[in-house]
Amino acid sequence: MRRRAQRGAGMSVPTVAPAAPSTAAAPPPRRTPAVHDTLPRPARTPRPSLRPRLRGAPARIRATTALVILLLAALFAALTVGVAKARGNVHAVGRSAAPQAATASDLYFALADIDAQVANVLLIGHDEQIGNKQSALRQLRLRRASVNTDVQALIDRGLGTADAGTAGELLAGLARYDALAAQAQAADDQVQDRPVGRPPALAVNYYLAATALMHQDLLPAADRLGRGAEDRLSAAASDGSSTAKLTSAAVWAVGGATLLTLLVWQFTLARRFRRILNPGLAAATVAVAVLTVLGGSLLSDQGTRVRDAKSTSFDPFSALARTRAVASDANADESRYLMLPEREGYYRAQFAAKSTALDPTSTSPGLTARLAAFRRDDSALQAAVASGRRDVAIGMATNVGRGNLAFEFYDYQSTLDTEADAHRAAFDTEIADTEDALDGWTWLPGVVLGVGVVLVVFGIRPRLREYA
């Protein structure tokens, strides 16, 4: 060991020559970073994910709450639309179409009675002892004013293009009738000593032209106006009934879906949270149930009530109003028959046909008895004419005294008016009752369902807090 160390110490160490400098390019110096590069960048705030909120029981509760609120809004819409349409239908039937039909019926009667009174004036002539000429003239003025009022009322309530043209034609024709009737009366007044019940030929010719104009133009025009108004009334009542069924069905369907959703939801919450009853949801369920039953029944009942009011009250009124016009024209046929004996066969046939037409509407005991009395006195009038007592027959036809034909006709017509007015009053009462039943339903659904939304939200909040 010692020999090896000494031998190693005596050995010389070789010197290593330094390496030659390399000709390769040196790397570029590292760039000193700028001050702003050395500042730390702010960390990005991650966006909150919607998925956690849409998962699990809280998400299902929120989704069901939104569904229930949507159903409550749909129920509100169904009730609001249904009530609005119901009110529109009641107004269309009771305040528009029915008054138009009644006015048209009164117009027809007034025109028929105008012609009857003109015949009575000419029949009586200048002998006030036989008949009451002043009463006939007064009645003539009243009926003429009634025609003007009725036509203006029809125009004010709105007429279609065809009906407006008919009304214009009627007014123009009525002006011609007035001129002919006035000429007939003037021609009669010029002959002071004419026989009783026999106006001069000129007056008769004017009257024949006037009555032909009345029966060929004016009465048919009034009848068209009346038929058109009655058709609109029937269409409005039918459309209202159909609409009421649809809106009622919509309320029942949406209300039923809302109730079912609320009940299933409460059952689910009861199982999950071990609670028997949620007071807020229970109260909302009761409110929806009550509103659905009342609203659906109201809309269905409204359509039925309007339809029944039209069929049970207004239709009988319309029939009696038309009967009144036919009766007035039949009574005028008796005056024409006495004034124009050469046309006896024609006017007697006209009277018989119109008298028969009075039977279907004379169903009450009072009307039946008065119609029988009217016909009985007509037979007495014919007997007086057959026996040559024309002056007596004229007095019977024009003098309103008990036992005369004119009195029996007045009694019959008064009974017709009374019964017609009773039916019209019943119709108006039923329409008013239907309108009253709809009062309050413009705001009630909004209030009740708004409270229902609040109950749902506050009823479900405690369940959501359990997941907070």
pLDDT in the model for residue 2 = 42
DSSP states along 121-171? HHHHTT-TTTS-HHHHHHHHHHHHHHHHHHHHHHHHH---HHHHHHHHHHH
pLDDT in the model for residue 182 = 94
Q: Each residue of 55-85: pLDDT tens digit?
A: 567 788 788 889 999 999 999 999 999 999 9
Residues 84-108: what's their mean pLDDT? 92
Q: Each residue of 314-333: pLDDT tens digit?
A: 999 999 999 999 998 998 89
pLDDT in the model for residue 192 = 79
pLDDT in the model for residue 115 = 93
In three-state secondary structure terms, 320 is helix
Residues 399-403: what's their mean pLDDT? 71
Summary mean pLDDT of the chain: 83
In three-state secondary structure terms, 104 is helix
Nearest Cα to 412, choosing from 381, 455, 349, 367?
367
Residues 435-448: what's their mean pLDDT? 91
Q: Is the pLDDT of residue 4 over 80?
A: no
Residues 106-126: what's their mean pLDDT? 90
pLDDT in the model for residue 267 = 85
**C-alpha dihedral sign at 81, 83, 87, 90:** positive
Is-contact 133 114, C-beta < 8 A?
no
Q: Is the pLDDT of residue 53 over 70?
A: no
- What percent of the chain clears pLDDT 70, i.e. is strictly above it? 84
Is-contact 412 370, C-beta < 8 A?
yes
pLDDT in the model for residue 410 = 85
More confident residue, 360 or 284: 284
What residue spans define the domains of the chain? 72-465
Residues 214-229: what's their mean pLDDT? 92
Q: Is the pLDDT of residue 127 over 90?
A: no
Q: Which residues contact 78 (CB under 8 A, 6 or more apart)?
A: 247, 250, 251, 254, 255
Residues 347-374: what's their mean pLDDT? 85
Q: How far apart are CA 257 and CA 252, in angstroms?
A: 8
pLDDT in the model for residue 178 = 94
pLDDT in the model for residue 391 = 79
- For the chain, helix, strand, coil in percent to 5 are 80, 0, 20
Q: Each residue of 259-285: pLDDT tens digit?
A: 999 998 888 877 776 666 788 888 999
**C-alpha dihedral sign at 139, 141, 142, 144:** positive
pLDDT in the model for residue 156 = 84
pLDDT in the model for residue 18 = 47
Q: How far apart are CA 133 and CA 342, in angstroms?
A: 24
Residues 421-448: what's their mean pLDDT? 92
Tokens at 382, concatenated? 């014919």
- What percent of the chain clears pLDDT 90, i.e. is strictly above it? 43
Residues 10-27: what's their mean pLDDT? 45
More confident residue, 252 or 64: 252
pLDDT in the model for residue 33 = 52
pTM above 0.85, yes or no: no
**Residue spans of beta strands (DSSP E) within 29-114:** none
